[in-house]
Each structure stands twice: as structure tokens, then as C-alpha cells.
Structure 1
Amino acid sequence: MTSDNIFQLFYFVILLLAIGGSVVTLYRGQFGRMVRQFLAWVAICAALVIGYENKHIFEGWLIPAQQSVDPAGNVTLLRDTNGYFRVSAMVNEVPVDFLVDTGASLIVLSQADARRAGIAVDDLRYNGVASTANGEVRFAQVLLDSFAIGDAVERGVVASVNAGVLDTSLLGLSYLNRFSRIVIEKDRMILER
């Protein structure tokens, strides 16, 4: 043990004795009350830890779904806190989150999402050039085995993989045009089949 570790251990023991002494003095003659309050705090902390570990169960109750798909295949998206519409899709049977971008011509995958979807990004030929708000960027065109939002699965969907830095994959017009109508009402976007 180093001298720093010994000092930290000594400091911790002194702090523990000070807190313990204060508790004993505060609850002198009330041991039962002290135990009940201690157990109450243990239960509260345990409930918080268990709740956090299982937050995915409670999110559906507390936070409205950002996307829903009805039986007809119509997709309803809610605007996120940054003002964007996002959609979760299955690309080659792997979940990928997309930013809906009506200014993008194609489905644009980030390199990270393309890798997760089983695309060998290092073997692609990035010979396409696209003009973006951040200037020109190179991309490689790919053919996705499958692309699904909800139960609507499509095969052989053309997409592109961005050669530059892209934080979020983009859902562009090549896929959005498959819907008969796109309606935006305040904080809701409805993609109608």
C-alpha cells in the first residue's frame, strides 16, 4: 500500500466514525427507530437502482413512443426535443436509427451503422460525390438485403455509405418516395402507404 492509499483509508475511517457517532448520538435510546429509517433508505436506494436497471420497461409508460406503425403500414413519427423526426428501421435485420432528411436523395448509412448491418465498409469504392450543407462528401452505393420499418420489409433497397464523418444515418427521398403521402402536422409526421 502506498502512503496515499493509507491516508485515504485513514480519512475514510475517520469520516465513518464521525458519521456513525453522529447517528448514534441522534438516535440514543431509539435503536428501533434508527433501524427502521436505515432500512427505509436502503429500500429507496434499492428501488432506484432496480428502476434504473429496468428503465426500458418504464419508458413506454412515461415517454410516448417516438414512432408507431399501424396495421396498414402507415408510420407516425413524433418530433424529438431537437425538432427533428427520427425513425428506427431494421437494415439487414439489424436495428438502425435514422434522421428523416427530405434533402437527402438516398438512404445514407454512417460507416458505423453500415458495419453493424454487415457491410464491409473498408472494401467499398467511394466513387460517388454528393453535395451537402457541409460541402462535398464521397460515398459508395450499396444494395441492402432488407430494409424494414415495422412489418413492411423491402428487399434489394439501394442505399449509400458515407465516406466522411456522419453521426446519424439519414432516411432520404429514395425511401420516403415509396409512401403515397407525407403529412406534417405540428410535431407529428405521418408517412402514408
Structure 2
Amino acid sequence: MRLFWISMAILGSGLILLIANHDSGTVLGLESSAFASTLYMGLWAAVLIVGILGSGLRIGEMARTLAFWVFLLLALVAIYQYRYELQDVASRVTAGLIPGTPVSAVGSDGRAQVMVERSASGHFEVVADVNGTGLRMLIDTGASSIVLSDADARSAGFDPEGLQFQTPVATANGTALVARARAAEIQVGSIVRSNLPVYVAQPGRLDQSLLGMSFINTLAGFELRGDRIILRD
């Protein structure tokens, strides 16, 4: 208790000095902000030391306890400093476990970019949000437009019965008729586009939705790196 009151007296004196020298901007040769930070850290150090000494632990147990708390503090600081790198690692692990998961990052130019891994089928498939609904879409640079299958269009809130299938397009299964529509929002990772034109295929004419050039052309560019495609906003 004597150590506690001595510590409180020292900290109280420092607080008085800080208040008294507020206008000058310095206290004992230190900037006021630096002096205040020192007082703050000193307060926590005093509480920790008094707590350990007052616990009745032996010197060895006390040292181990102090080392544990120092290690925990350093670990928390390290996690905070490398939080963005850890988020990137977590995103990459998720992409490996769940194929099609887009990995968002920030490029050296400060722009958003999204990485997509090649799927087991050999194509680049990505889970894109269309009107708030996650749809597995094929990134197809050979397709001029965004084309939704009948099932995906229904999931995204479109009503195919109310659409007019009048536009002919060439597909792997031959020529098919599609209907024009607009998506309120399409999001791929951190890349978001609003009010984009889309086409809806007739039932049974398209097995998988296509993320075509009408979306890719809105980007700053894209790049193929082995088994990865990187979309740049």
C-alpha cells in the first residue's frame, strides 16, 4: 500500500505539472502530449506492479506473471500493426477452402483490386452479389454482356415471366433468346457497380451465369497471373 500511495503521489504531481504548463506546450523538456502519454503508461505500470506485489506471489511466480502480461501486450500490438496483412491471409485461406470466393485488397496505387483463383474446372468462377444475392458466375472475357441463367435471375429478384425474350445471342448450346433487364447493384469483392444492363436467359438455355465484358469494361483493367485473375477497380 505504501508503494501504491507513493506511485499515486508521483503521478498526481505529474498531472499538476501538466496542467500548470498547459499553455507552454512542454513539461520538463517534453511536449505536453508526450508527457501525458508517459503519465498514462506510468499509471498502468503502477497498477500492474502494485497488483503483482500485493498478490503475495513469490519472486519466480511474479516474474512469470509479469512475462506473461508483457508477452500478451506485445502480441496484441503485433496483431494490431499487421491487421491488414492478417486479413489478407485470412481471405486467401477462405478462397482456398471455398472456391470462387473473391479476395479483396488494395493495390500499390491505392485502388481496390480483387483476386479470383481458377476453379477445378479450369475456369475463373466467382461468387458475385447481384441485387444482394450471391451467385456463382463465370468470368468470361469472350461474352460481351452479363448474362443470368433463369434460376439465378429468379434468385436475384427478376421475374422472367414479365420479361420479353427477343434478343438472339450465340451460346455453347446454339442460338438462344434473352431478355434485357437492369441490375440495381453487382458486387465482386470490394468492387461495386450500380444500374448495369444484364440479360436473362430462357429456362434451360444457360447452365451458369456469365460475368462478361459489360462489367469488365467498367474496370481499370484485369491481369492473369497463372491460376489467378486480378480485377482492378
Q: What TM-score, normalized to structure 1?
A: 0.64
* Structure ranking higher in helix proportion: 2
**Cα separation, 1, equivalents of 2:154 and 2:162:** 11
| Paired position in structure 1 for 2:28 | none
Query: Which of residues 58, 65, 68 in structure 1 aligns to 2:103?
Result: 68
| Paired position in structure 2 for 1:99 | 138
Does residue 118 of structure 2 align to residue 83 of structure 1?
A: no
Give unpaired runs (5+ residues) of structure 1.
Answer: 1-58
**Cα separation, 2, equivalents of 1:184 and 1:62:** 18
Query: Which of residues 199, 205, 213 in structure 2 aligns to 1:173?
Result: 213
| Paired position in structure 2 for 1:191 | 231
Shift of 1:62: 6.8
Q: Which amino acid aligns with 1:146?
A: E
The runs of at least 4 consecutive aligned structure 1 residues that moved more than 4 Å come to none
| Paired position in structure 2 for 1:129 | 168
**Cα separation, 2, equivalents of 1:174 and 1:62:** 28
Deviations 1:110-168 (A, max 9, x none): 01010011101111100000122322110001011111112332221100001142221
| Paired position in structure 2 for 1:26 | none
Judging changes above 3 Å, is the alpha-carbon distance between structure 1 residues 120 and 64 closer, same or farther for their aligned structure 2 residues? closer
- Larger radius of gyration, structure 1 or 2? 2
What percent identity do the matched residue pairs reach? 34
**Cα separation, 2, equivalents of 1:116 and 1:151:** 21
Deviations 1:8-63 (A, max 9, x none): xxxxxxxxxxxxxxxxxxxxxxxxxxxxxxxxxxxxxxxxxxxxxxxxxxx83973
Q: What TM-score, normalized to structure 2?
A: 0.54
**Cα separation, 2, equivalents of 1:91 and 1:119:** 10
Shift of 1:106: 0.6
Root mean square deviation, CA, Å:
1.9
